[in-house]
Structure 1
Amino acid sequence: MKSALYLCLLFLGLQVQGQQQEQIHPSPEEKSQADVENLPHVKLAPSNADFAFKLYKQIRGELGDKNIFFSPLSISTAFAMLSLGARSSTLRDLHKGLAFNLTQMEEQEIHEGFQHILQMLNDPHREAQLNMGNTLFVDKKVELLQNFLDRVTNFYFAEAISSNFQNPPEAIKEINKYVETKTHGKIVDLVKSIDPETVMVLINYIYFKGAWERPFDESSTRDSDFFLDAKNSVKVKMMYEEDYFNVHRDEKLSCWVVEIPYKGNVTSFFVLPDEGAMKEVEDALLKETVSEWLRSFKKSEIYLDLPRFSVSSSFDVKSLLEKMGVTEVFSNRADLSGVAKNHLLKVSEAIHKATVDVRENGTEAAAVTLMRIMPMSLPFPPPPRITFNRPFLMMIIDKNTDGLLFLGKIVNPTAKED
């Protein structure tokens, strides 16, 4: 009987706080366009985006009208790391499921791409607090193959921690304490039980705490209605800002797209479909669609209303990936012979939990009076008002890596967990 490799995938603790900060523009890279396009993390970005949107649509199909929030990069990183120990058809199954195109980049480049992503996300000089890491909790009776250990350490900066899974309460306590520490207390008591056959737990965590470049004025926040559907609404705290944002009106998909940047070269897209247009927008979620939005942004003055919200989501990643065609790694046909000595392994469970907290706090009280003196002219139409008072999509994107860190749909801002 195969031993179980309990694969635990976590995205934990996105907190958004506002602080006053002038917009920062990264200095241009002194490399030619061809050189940039050949960097492993740049070549990897389209595959990761394809996987993200494919997984989102699978989740949407199962959850329907519920909040969705997850880190596609966390999931793809964990399974890419595991693929270092996969062989034969199990390896091909993982590559296909993760949307890796081996005709455009070699297997070595895939892992080098993730290596570069991890290096850039964990850069201590970043203004945003952004941490991503990988850990293997390995039973004392298991000896990892040196080649696998060397490669997960080199490419994924993973640390291996010896554990005693024959003492489940102690192992659970150890893992949960680690998770709680890495997520700054955002996720507690994640692991409730451990199968006695478990010999390894693989964890990927990502934590982001970012400040808006321009915060919302807390004194402008007010109670407002958020419409769940045509008949039902909930009360939310609605934040308000009148400012210049990158904005695009997609007439084809009947939606507004607003970019709200953070300090530290991380940004967010908030997508507001017209009433009844959510499914059409979701169906069109592809890397090409997002690229078109990026190209079409125009800096415009708008009245922006955005709800303050805090939601969490939990997913059975094993079930989701099996329905997407990734099956072998979870079955008794799994070939993970490159992981450990004298153990036939399969992935018995893969879970993912994500939390997001969007608000306007973190600013000091201040006041300023400003008068703009300008010549009289014919009256201009007022700026458009974009009010996120119905279900919307959100993306958190790292500009350094073109990585889609987080992706979600907010259907009910008052629902804490789905």
Structure 2
Amino acid sequence: MRISNQTNREDGPKRGFGQRKSERLFKKISLFALLAVVAVAGCSNGTSEPNYVSAYKAEDANPELSAAINKFALDLYAKLEDEPGEADPGPNRMISPAGIGIALSMLKDGAEGETAQQMDGMLHLNGMSPEVLAESQMILSDLLRGSDPAVKMDIANSLWSRQGFEVNKDYAERIEKSYGAQVQAIDFTSDQAVSTINQWASDNTAGKIPEVVEAPLSENLVLLLMNAMYFKGDWSEPFKKGQTEDLPFYPEGGQEVKVPTMRQSGDYAYLDGEGFEAVRLPYGETRNFGMILALPDENSSLDEFKQRQLPKFNAWSQELSDNEGSIELPRFKLKDKLTLKATLSALGMVDAFSDQTAELGGLAAGGAQPGDIFVSFVTHDTFIEVNEEGTEAAAVTVIGAETTSVPAPQTPFDLKFNRPFFFAITDRTTGAIVFMGEVGNPAED
């Protein structure tokens, strides 16, 4: 293994590394967007203006929140192996822990007692108060929006309450102010309720996620907490379409398939790690956003990588250094929908889902007894498309609450992503992992 201590860079291509590693290709796309940030206060739709300039500097970000976000993201992604959130998991998977984390943070603001403690532990907040959490997320969100004028990073939050259910006024005001959330009462029994909620999701994901709830909604539903995230960035060094051609991809244990594969050479931030190689492809002008792609060695597998190296992501992702090489990367496009009740329960958030012990009194005016209000579902819809120009990704999380009542000599590399591989989109300004995933079969949507 060679680990260089050179300064991390995000420049373009370099030649040569994947040939010696394998002619098999992963086809398991699992987008794992990991950043728990919130919309800027007073910006209820989270939309970034062109050339948006953040009111904050990188040093204003709370490092404890960034660390908590990434820990939760890695925990969540690992737990999906046991609790995948879908009845028939395919070779591709995709999530945005970032959006999930934001929605859960809003919920935690109304949690009490053991329920709040369980959520605190799951989110690795170490006793961070709701006030500090909300302020820290607001700053992080603003920094993300202004990280690169050429990259669009939007975050939106909303709280929908059933008409007749009196939301805790202080809670609603905090969510609206600190998280920039749209707060609205709606008749969940009306024909328009579902279309209105779905329209909000569509509007805040550029139409990529047009449907997140279905009719009829439960008659016991009293609250919906929602987060939407949208990312669109062009590669700093776009792939040339003329170099894209159908090349073989080798799914784990499956037959070879031909997929449109992009090719590029140049200087990249690269790592020859223990049992894998990784490269970072930057977006935009500042190159703060970038996609980290990790390819397990030919004699290894994506499962082994996730078990051994994914928990160390925060460490090895800082070791990438400038190297010359070439890349082959399949185009891919994915959509996914997960239900996360079992996954989050397995991570320690147990009481919130119980109609006996959930302590969510902070959500309701006048409070509530344990079990009066509980979380009935958490759904997560995601979308990503990667092509020659860049990447477009979106995610919507919905929480439903019901009531009972040192440098080494450089060696040119040739990196061919023609077998299952991992990827992550990160931001250097905040240190946050924005999206993360894996491609097991780019031929499957």
Cα offset for 1:170? 1.5
TM-score by length of 1: 0.81
Cα offset for 1:230? 4.6
Instruction: Please give the secondary structure, in 1, of the residue aligned with 2:171.
Output: helix
Cα offset for 1:399? 2.0
Which stretch of structure 1 is more off in the superposition, 255-264 or 342-351? 342-351
Measure the CA separation in 2 of the matches of 1:381 and 1:262. 24
Q: Is the 8 A contact 2:296 2:305 kept in 1?
A: yes
The amino acid that maps onto 2:109 is L
Equivalent residue number for residue 371 of structure 1? none
1:42 matched to 2:63: yes
* Per-residue Cα deviation, 1:92-133 (whole angstroms, up to 9, x for no partner): 01111112223xx55532222212122223349732111001
Equivalent residue number for residue 186 of structure 1? 208
Equivalent position to 1:292, from 305, 312, 316: 316
Equivalent residue number for residue 73 of structure 1? 98
The size of the alignment, in residue pairs, is: 362
Q: Cα distance 1:389–1:30, how it changes in 2: closer, same or farther (>3 A)?
A: closer
Aligned ranges for residues 2-401 of structure 1 at < 5 Å? Answer: 36=59, 39=60, 41-63=62-84, 66-102=91-127, 105-123=128-146, 126-167=149-190, 169-193=191-215, 194-250=217-273, 252=274, 254-263=275-284, 264=286, 265-275=288-298, 276-285=300-309, 288-294=312-318, 296-332=319-355, 333-341=357-365, 344-361=372-389, 383-401=412-430
TM-score by length of 2: 0.76
Instruction: Please give the secondary structure, in 1, of the residue aligned with 2:326.
Output: strand
Instruction: Please give the secondary structure, in 1, of the residue aligned with 2:239.
Output: coil
Measure the CA separation in 2 of the matches of 1:62 and 1:210. 31
Instruction: Please give the secondary structure, in 1, of the residue aligned with 2:80.
Output: helix
Measure the CA separation in 1 of the matches of 2:315 and 2:137. 21
Measure the CA separation in 2 of the matches of 1:208 and 1:351. 20
* Per-residue Cα deviation, 1:219-267 (whole angstroms, up to 9, x for no partner): 00000111002542221100000111010000x2x10110000015211
Q: Cα distance 1:106–1:97, how it changes in 2: closer, same or farther (>3 A)?
A: same
Q: Is the 8 A contact 1:247 1:257 kept in 2?
A: yes
Q: Cα distance 1:95–1:285, how it changes in 2: closer, same or farther (>3 A)?
A: farther
Instruction: Please give the secondary structure, in 1, of the residue aligned with 2:362.
Output: coil
Instruction: Please give the secondary structure, in 1, of the residue aligned with 2:81.
Output: helix
The amino acid that maps onto 2:208 is K
Aligned-residue CA RMSD (Å): 2.5
The amino acid that maps onto 2:374 is K
Equivalent residue number for residue 412 of structure 1? 441
Q: Is the 8 A contact 2:109 2:130 kept in 1?
A: no
Which stretch of structure 1 is more off in the superposition, 327-336 or 270-279? 270-279
Q: Cα distance 1:392–1:61, how it changes in 2: closer, same or farther (>3 A)?
A: farther
Instruction: Please give the secondary structure, in 1, of the residue aligned with 2:264.
Output: strand
* Per-residue Cα deviation, 1:370-417 (whole angstroms, up to 9, x for no partner): xxxxxxxxxx9983211001111111112222121111111111211x
Measure the CA separation in 2 of the matches of 1:309 and 1:30. 35
Instruction: Please give the secondary structure, in 2, of the residue aligned with 1:195.
Output: coil
From the CA coordinates, give the structure whose radius of gyration is larger: 1
Q: Cα distance 1:307–1:30, how it changes in 2: closer, same or farther (>3 A)?
A: closer
Q: Cα distance 1:143–1:121, how it changes in 2: closer, same or farther (>3 A)?
A: farther
Instruction: Please give the secondary structure, in 1, of the residue aligned with 2:436.
Output: strand
The amino acid that maps onto 2:211 is D
* Per-residue Cα deviation, 1:152-178 (whole angstroms, up to 9, x for no partner): 1222111102211122x3110111111
Q: Is the 8 A contact 2:252 2:440 kept in 1?
A: no
Q: Is the 8 A contact 1:87 1:338 kept in 2?
A: yes
The amino acid that maps onto 2:327 is L
The amino acid that maps onto 2:352 is V
Measure the CA separation in 2 of the matches of 1:117 and 1:30. 10
The amino acid that maps onto 1:291 is A
Unaligned regions of 5+ residues in structure 2, if any? 1-31, 34-52, 391-408
Q: Cα distance 1:335–1:314, how it changes in 2: closer, same or farther (>3 A)?
A: same
Instruction: Please give the secondary structure, in 2, of the residue aligned with 1:53.
Output: helix
The amino acid that maps onto 2:73 is A
Measure the CA separation in 2 of the matches of 1:306 and 1:125. 24
Equivalent residue number for residue 15 of structure 1? none
Cα offset for 1:46? 1.1
Q: Cα distance 1:124–1:139, how it changes in 2: closer, same or farther (>3 A)?
A: farther
Measure the CA separation in 2 of the matches of 1:106 and 1:278. 38
Measure the CA separation in 2 of the matches of 1:289 and 1:46. 12
